[in-house]
Amino acid sequence: MNSRWITLAICFLSFLLFESNSVTAQYAIGETTITFVDASRGNRNISCLVYYPATSAGTNAPIAGGGATEFPVFVYGHGFTIDPGVYTQLSNTLTPKGYIMVLPETETSFSPSHGDFGADLLFAVNGMQAEGADPASQFFGVIKNKTAVGGHSMGGGSSFLAAENDPPNVTTLVNMAAAETTPSAIAAAANITIPTLVIAGGEDCVAPVGDHQKPMYDASAASCKVYYEIDGAAHCRFSDGGATSCFAAEGFTCAFGWGPFLNQADQNARVDDVLVPWLDYYLMEDCDAYALVQSALATHGGMNSVDGCPTPPPCTNVSAPGVELEVKVALEGPFDGSAMSTNLSVSGLMPLSQPYNAAPWNYVGSESIASYPANAVDWVIVELRSSRAGAADESKAAILTADGTVLDVDGTPQLKFSTVLPGDYYVVVRHKGHVDVMSGQVLSLSAAAASYDFTSAVTQAYGTNQQLLIGGSACMLAGDFDGNGVVTFADFNAYLGSSSEILFYNNWEVDFDGHVTVADYNLYKKNASAIGVPEIQL
Ligand SMILES: [Ca+2]
Ligand SMILES: [Ca+2]
**Are the C-beta atoms of residues 149 and 126 closer than 8 Å to each other?**
no
Distance 486 CA to ligand 1 centre (A): 4
**Are the C-beta atoms of residues 95 and 51 closer than 8 Å to each other?**
yes
Ligand lying closest to the C-alpha of residue 341: 2
Handedness of CA 60, 48, 82, 260 (dihedral sign): negative
Ligand lying closest to the C-alpha of residue 489: 1
> Which pLDDT score, from 0 to 100, does residue 25 have?
55
Distance 511 CA to ligand 2 centre (A): 5
Distance 311 CA to ligand 2 centre (A): 64
Question: 53: cis peptide before it, omega within 30°?
Answer: no
Distance 502 CA to ligand 2 centre (A): 9
Ligand lying closest to the C-alpha of residue 478: 1
Say yes or no to pLDDT of 141 above 80.
yes
The helix or strand, by DSSP H or E, that contains position 523, with its residue range, turns out to be helix 518-527
Say yes or no to pLDDT of 8 above 60.
no
Ligand lying closest to the C-alpha of residue 481: 1
Distance 430 CA to ligand 2 centre (A): 19
Distance 483 CA to ligand 2 centre (A): 17
Distance 430 CA to ligand 1 centre (A): 13
> Which pLDDT score, from 0 to 100, does residue 69 have?
86
In terms of DSSP H, where are the helices of 351-507?
A: 489-496
* Nearest one of 262, 265, 266, 286 to 276, comparing CA atoms: 286
Ligand lying closest to the C-alpha of residue 433: 1
Higher pLDDT, 166 or 315: 166
> Which pLDDT score, from 0 to 100, does residue 311 have?
60
**Are the C-beta atoms of residues 1 and 280 closer than 8 Å to each other?**
no
Amino acid type, 525: K
Cα separation, 160 vs 462, in Å, equals 43
Ligand lying closest to the C-alpha of residue 349: 2
Distance 336 CA to ligand 2 centre (A): 14
Distance 49 CA to ligand 1 centre (A): 48
Handedness of CA 71, 122, 94, 301 (dihedral sign): negative
Distance 487 CA to ligand 1 centre (A): 4
Task: Could you list the beta-strand ranges (E) of 270-364.
Answer: 304-307, 323-328
The DSSP code for 168 is T
Task: Could you list the beta-strand ranges (E) of 165-207.
Answer: 172-176, 196-201
Distance 501 CA to ligand 2 centre (A): 9
Distance 531 CA to ligand 1 centre (A): 9
Task: Could you list the beta-strand ranges (E) of 78-115.
Answer: 100-104
**Cβ neighbours of residue 310 under 8 Å, at least 6 residues apart?**
224, 290
Distance 519 CA to ligand 2 centre (A): 6
pLDDT band at residue 19 under the 50/70/90 scheme:
very low
Distance 512 CA to ligand 2 centre (A): 5
Distance 509 CA to ligand 2 centre (A): 5
**Are the C-beta atoms of residues 179 and 105 closer than 8 Å to each other?**
no
Distance 93 CA to ligand 1 centre (A): 47
Q: Is 478 exposed, middle or buried (0-12, 13-18, 19+ CB in 10 A)?
A: buried
Digit-coded pLDDT (tens) for 61-87? 999 988 878 999 999 999 999 999 999
pLDDT band at residue 2 under the 50/70/90 scheme:
very low
> Which pLDDT score, from 0 to 100, does residue 313 have?
40
26-35, 252-261, 392-401: least confident range: 252-261
Residue 28 backbone phi and psi in degrees, to 5: -75, 165
Distance 431 CA to ligand 2 centre (A): 15
Say yes or no to pLDDT of 13 above 80.
no
Residues making up the chain, counted from first to last: 538
Ligand lying closest to the C-alpha of residue 510: 2
Distance 528 CA to ligand 2 centre (A): 17
pTM above 0.85, yes or no: no
Distance 485 CA to ligand 1 centre (A): 6
Ligand lying closest to the C-alpha of residue 432: 1
Mean pLDDT of 161-166: 97
Cα distances (angstroms) measured from residue 478 to each of 280, 401, 403, 486: 47, 17, 17, 10
* Nearest one of 67, 63, 111, 104 to 87, comparing CA atoms: 104
Say yes or no to pLDDT of 144 above 90.
yes
Dmax of the chain from CA atoms? 99
Cα separation, 257 vs 191, in Å, equals 35
**Are the C-beta atoms of residues 50 and 33 closer than 8 Å to each other?**
yes
Residue 482 backbone phi and psi in degrees, to 5: -95, 0
Handedness of CA 161, 165, 171, 173 (dihedral sign): positive
For residue 46, how many other CB atoms are within 10 A of its CB? 23
134-138, 223-227, 466-470, 494-498: least confident range: 494-498
Cα separation, 368 vs 149, in Å, equals 52
Digit-coded pLDDT (tens) for 265-308? 999 999 999 999 999 999 998 878 888 998 999 998 778 888 88
> Which pLDDT score, from 0 to 100, does residue 1 have?
36
In terms of DSSP H, where are the helices of 308-374?
A: 343-346
